[in-house]
Every structure is written in C-alpha cells, then in structure tokens.
C-alpha cells in the first residue's frame, strides 16, 4: 500500500520545522551532531551545541597585517577576544589588542619642484642620537641657540624631500596596547543590560572608554530596541610637545605637553527579524567631541601666490568641537547555502563632512566545511569645511586649516575575499585579503603655479590581510 504524498500545509510545515530543530538541537547537545545532521539532512551548521541556555566560552584570535603601497605605513596587529557565556544569558567579554605601526606617512606639506627641508624635535639625551638611513633618512642638526635653553636641547631632526615627490616623514613608529572588558546580562524585564570599559595606550596617546547599554526584545524576540551610551577621555602627548596651531614648524620642544579630548555619544538601535530569511538592523548614532582634535605632527604648506612654491610650513589646526550623526542600515539574507549582506551608512558632522558607505558581501557555504565570502565596499566623502590642500601667503589664514587627505573629498573602494574552514563543530579558521584604494582630485582648480604640475592627492592604497581562529568550548 502506498500513502500518497501531497504538498505540505502550513501546520504540517511548521511541525516539520520544529521537529527537525528539536532533533538537531538535542543530537548536538549529546555529541551526535554529525550523525544527526546527515540523518536529517537539513542544517549542517552544527550550531545548537552553543545556544541560549547553554554555558560555553568562545575564544577568538586574529592577526592583521596592513601594508600601504609606496613604502608608506605598515602595521601588524594581533588581537584576541574571550567571551564567556553563562547558562542564564550572562556574558563576560575580555579583549586585548597590540599593534606595531611603522613606515612613512605624508606630513601634510605639498610637493614642490625644489628640494624641501623639514625639522622636528629630536628624542632627548639617553636615546639613540646617531641617525642612520635606517632611521628614515633623517639627520641630526644643531639648532640656533635660544636664550635660556640647554645645549642638548638645541638638537633637532631634519629630513629632506626630493623635488616632485610627496613630503613624507619616514621616522614614524608607534606601539600600542589596549584592553577591553564588558559584561551583559538580562535583568528583570530588561532583556539585556550591560557595560564595558576600555583602555588603550601608545607612545603618544592614551584613550579611556566606557559604555553602558540596555536592550529590550519584543514581538516573540523578532524585534530588539537598544540604547548604548558611550564616553571617551583621550590624552594626546605628542613627542616634542603640543604645537600651537598655524605657527611655524620647528624643532623646539613645546611648553604644552598634553592636551585632552572628551567624547560623549549614544547609539539607538533597532534590530528586526523581517522574515525567516531576512534580518535587518537600523542604528542611529550621535556623537559630540570636545577638546584637542588636531594632528600634532601634521603640517600645511604656505605657498607663494604666483609661483606656488612653498614659502613656509605651519602646524595644522582643527576645531575643538565636533558633533556628528550617522544612520546605519544593515541587512542579512539567508538563501540556501548563502548569506548575503548589504549595508549602507550615512554620516554627517558639523565640520562639513558627509559620507556614504555601501558594503556588500556574499558568503557561500561549500561542500564539507568550507566557505568563501567575496566582498566589496564603496565609500565617498566630501571635504571638511576647513580642509585646504595648501594656504596662500597673501591671504589671511583661516582660524582652522588642515591638509590631511583624510579630511578631503575622495572616493574609496575595497574589494577582497575571505575563505573559512570549519576545523570541527567547534572551531573555525579563516583568512581574508582586501585591497583598499582611495582616489581623489590631485589637480584641483585652485592649484597655483608649480602646484598645477603636482599631484596634490595623498590618498592611500593598502593591502589588508588577516588570519583568524574561532574556538568554542564548554
């Protein structure tokens, strides 16, 4: 006798789905995941070993290698994260980051058809004062004596830039270490309440961050609303002291050694499971930063109004107040063995900057335990209202000016791919590589004299490679 098969109705499909979920979940928690998944043939992710109500720990480790083209910045950044999940929804997170950055970075001056010389403070007695070309092509020079100054302080570091090349400071080196910790748990009717703190320290900068967060689920957990309040207190103690903005670049030690910046902001988030396949998130953020936001090492060239030759070099100056907002919209859609992600962010602030970011990625689960995930990102920003590629000597200086390309108008595109391998039901290894390139107008209409023959855009092209490992255990 044959029992006829007909198309399943709504309740029939629902029973089928919850039965499969039950059997895979219990099989996983009884260590039979491979058998269960083959048998039920539905979900190869082996996920429910680590779901709500089950205590487990997750360790993530990764190594990032960043290399810019043209001998510019390179960085190595190992990171690690430990997340301990309790059976009752509590979570403790600990993170550590270290990075070592070196290489050459544009100092903000314009290229010239003549050799240019720049001077900066030199590390004091006790550290190495013999300078070889390995130290970035700088030389130690004797500064003209200033009344009341120690003789040893009358040394400076000088470097030159060849004609028609972008001025770069090659002696750039920094080490940073940071720690973060966070806690979250359900409390009463609040689905999640938590907070965290972070501390980051590098040779010339320190940052202390703190945040508190609350979230509530509605609608059978299909909707989550969250509010995150965050604050940051930063201290900048650049080598050589904090220069006064728009004064001449020099090798003296400046009297002000430290400047601070405080930041307060919030993120209002909405996460919604739209359909069985589609998850959506919408975040609105607001930030207010007060205090020192200038790059103490960056300069801006003052050029002759006719020839365009640089006549002097001044330290840049940025406003001490910055208010910004952003709206971020993220979508993840699961189709069979793939997950598609598409996101858009709009950012705007009172420095006149606004930007659009679009990111897309497609994760494709392949047979066995592999997946590949190509991705692309498009970015466009317009310039800050105080961005100037250069200043002109016969025009009154504005209150704020910076030639930092990062504040200019440019487009950027990133493309890359990631490959992952599920080593076991509990751990995963991944490698990804991306190529990031910025493009902007190197020949603006206001270029004068020799500047018309120079490329005034100092944007980056960089390769980003990261290897990571995720491991879950009970």
Partner 1 sequence: MKIRLRVINGALAALVAAAACASCTASGPRPWERDLMARPEMQLVPYPLQTAADEHVYFSKEASSGGRGFAGGGCGCN
Partner 2 sequence: MEIPLAATLSRAGQDYLGTFKAMATPCEVRVETDDAGLGRRVADAVEAEARRIEAKFSRYRDDSIIGQINSAGGRKTVVDAETAHLLDFAGQCFDLSGGMFDITSGVLRRAWRFDGSDRVPGASDIKPLQKLVGWKKLSWRAPSLTLPAGMEIDLGGLAKEYAVDRALAAARAITAAPVLVNFGGDLAVSGPRTSGTPWHVAIASVDKDDAMAGMLELVGGALATSGDARRFLLKDGVRYSHILNPRTGWPVKDAPRSVTVAAPSCVEAGMVATLAMLQGKRAELFLKREGARAWCIR
State which residue, 10 or 368, has the beta carbon closest to partner 2.
Answer: 10
Q: Where are any strands of DSSP class E within 122-167?
A: 139-142, 155-161
* Cα-Cα-Cα-Cα dihedral sign, residues 347, 104, 70, 418: negative
Q: Which of 30, 45, 227, 366 binds partner 1 (CB under 8 A)?
A: 45
Site residues for partner 2, 67-106, by CB under 8 A, read: 87-88
Q: Which does 6 bind (CB under 5 to 8 A by kind): partner 1, partner 2, none?
A: partner 2
Taking the complex as a whole, the smallest distance from the CB of residue 21 to partner 2 amounts, in Å, to 8
Listed residue (403, 402, 252, 313) closest to 117, CA to CA: 313
102-104-106 Cα angle (round to 5): 135
State which residue, 253 or 328, has the beta carbon closest to partner 1.
Answer: 328
Taking the complex as a whole, the smallest distance from the CB of residue 251 to partner 1 amounts, in Å, to 21
Burial class of residue 127, CB neighbours in 10 A (0-12, 13-18, 19+): exposed
- Separation CA 394–CA 304 (nearest Å): 8
Q: Where does this chain touch partner 2 (CB under 8 A) — which range of 17-25, 336-344, 416-424, 437-445?
A: 17-25
- Separation CA 465–CA 175 (nearest Å): 19
State which residue, 70 or 163, has the beta carbon closest to partner 1.
Answer: 70
β-pairing verdict for 391-392 and 299-303: parallel
297-299-305 Cα angle (round to 5): 175
- Separation CA 226–CA 204 (nearest Å): 35
Site residues for partner 1, 316-375, by CB under 8 A, read: 324-328, 330, 332, 334, 339, 343, 345-348, 350-351, 353-355, 357, 363, 365, 371
Q: Which of 265, 310, 425, 440 binds partner 1 (CB under 8 A)?
A: 265
Q: DSSP assignment of 44-62, as one string?
A: TT--GGG-TT--EEEEEEE
Counting contacts by CB under 8 A, is residue 272 touching partner 1? yes
State which residue, 24 or 267, has the beta carbon closest to partner 2.
Answer: 24
- Separation CA 145–CA 461 (nearest Å): 42
Burial class of residue 167, CB neighbours in 10 A (0-12, 13-18, 19+): buried
195: left (phi over 0), alpha (psi -120 to 50) or beta: beta
Q: Which does 9 bind (CB under 5 to 8 A by kind): partner 1, partner 2, none?
A: partner 2
Counting contacts by CB under 8 A, is residue 284 touching partner 1? yes
Site residues for partner 1, 102-161, by CB under 8 A, read: none
Taking the complex as a whole, the smallest distance from the CB of residue 143 to partner 1 amounts, in Å, to 27
Q: Which does 30 bind (CB under 5 to 8 A by kind): partner 1, partner 2, none?
A: partner 2
Burial class of residue 402, CB neighbours in 10 A (0-12, 13-18, 19+): buried
Taking the complex as a whole, the smallest distance from the CB of residue 421 to partner 1 amounts, in Å, to 14
Whole-Å CA distances, 36 to 12, 23, 43, 46: 21, 7, 9, 9
Q: Which does 111 bind (CB under 5 to 8 A by kind): partner 2, partner 1, none?
A: none
Counting contacts by CB under 8 A, is residue 187 touching partner 2? no
Q: Which does 66 bind (CB under 5 to 8 A by kind): partner 1, partner 2, none?
A: partner 1
Counting contacts by CB under 8 A, is residue 162 touching partner 2? no
Site residues for partner 2, 280-339, by CB under 8 A, read: none
Taking the complex as a whole, the smallest distance from the CB of residue 42 to partner 1 amounts, in Å, to 8
Element (H, E) at 332: strand 321-335
Taking residues 220 to 259 in sequence order and writing x for each that binds partner 1 by CB under 8 A, - otherwise, the string is: xxxx-x--x-x-x-x-x-----------------------
State which residue, 126 or 188, has the beta carbon closest to partner 2.
Answer: 188
Counting contacts by CB under 8 A, is residue 202 touching partner 1? yes
Counting contacts by CB under 8 A, is residue 430 touching partner 1? yes
Counting contacts by CB under 8 A, is residue 195 touching partner 1? no
| Number of residues counted as binding partner 1 (CB under 8 A) | 104
Q: DSSP assignment of 171-191, as one string?
A: EEEEEEEEEEEEEEEEETTEE
State which residue, 86 or 398, has the beta carbon closest to partner 2.
Answer: 86
Whether 278 contacts 264, CB under 8 Å: no
């Amino acid at each position: 006798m044959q029992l006829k098969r007909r198309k399943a109705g709504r309740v029939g499909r629902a029973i089928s789905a919850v039965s499969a979920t039950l059997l895979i979940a219990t099989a996983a928690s009884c260590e039979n995941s491979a058998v269960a998944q083959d048998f039920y043939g539905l979900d190869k992710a082996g996920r429910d070993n680590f779901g709500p109500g089950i205590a487990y720990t997750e360790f993530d480790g990764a190594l990032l290698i960043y290399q810019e083209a043209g001998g510019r910045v390179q960085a190595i950044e190992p990171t690690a994260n430990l997340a301990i999940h309790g059976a009752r929804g509590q979570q403790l997170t600990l993170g550590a980051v270290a990075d070592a950055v070196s290489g050459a970075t544009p100092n903000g001056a314009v290229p010239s058809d003549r050799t240019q010389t720049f001077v900066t403070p030199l590390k004091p007695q006790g550290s190495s004062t013999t300078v070889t070309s390995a130290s970035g092509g700088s030389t130690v020079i004797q500064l003209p004596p200033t009344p009341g100054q120690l003789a040893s302080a009358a040394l400076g570091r000088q470097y030159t830039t060849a004609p028609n090349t972008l001025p770069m400071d090659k002696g750039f080196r920094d080490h940073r270490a940071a720690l973060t910790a966070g806690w979250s748990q359900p409390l009463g009717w609040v689905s999640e309440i938590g907070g965290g703190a972070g501390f980051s320290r590098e040779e010339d900068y320190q940052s202390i961050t703190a945040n508190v967060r609350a979230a509530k689920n509605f609608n059978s957990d299909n909707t989550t609303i969250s509010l995150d309040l965050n604050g940051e207190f930063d201290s900048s103690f650049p080598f050589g002291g904090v220069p006064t903005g728009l004064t001449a670049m020099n090798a003296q030690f400046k009297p002000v050694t430290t400047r601070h910046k405080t930041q307060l902001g919030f993120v209002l988030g909405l996460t919604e499971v739209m359909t069985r396949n589609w998850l959506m998130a919408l975040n609105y953020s607001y930030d207010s930063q007060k205090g020192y936001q200038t790059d103490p090492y960056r300069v801006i060239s003052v050029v002759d109004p006719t020839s365009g030759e640089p006549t002097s070099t001044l330290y840049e100056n940025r406003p001490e107040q910055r208010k910004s907002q952003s709206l971020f919209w993220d979508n993840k859609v699961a189709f069979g063995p793939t997950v598609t992600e598409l996101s858009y962010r709009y950012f705007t602030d009172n420095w006149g900057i606004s930007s659009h970011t679009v990111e897309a990625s497609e994760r494709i689960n392949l047979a066995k335990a592999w997946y590949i995930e190509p991705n692309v990102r498009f970015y466009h920003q317009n310039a800050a209202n105080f961005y100037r590629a250069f200043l002109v000597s016969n025009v009154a200086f504005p209150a704020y000016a910076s030639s930092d390309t990062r504040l200019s108008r440019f487009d950027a595109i990133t493309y890359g791919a990631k490959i992952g391998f599920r080593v076991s039901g509990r751990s995963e290894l991944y490698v990804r590589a991306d190529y990031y390139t910025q493009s902007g107008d190197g020949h603006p209409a206001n270029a004068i004299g020799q500047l018309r023959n120079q490329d005034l855009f100092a944007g980056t092209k960089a390769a980003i490679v990261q290897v990571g490992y995720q491991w879950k255990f009970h």
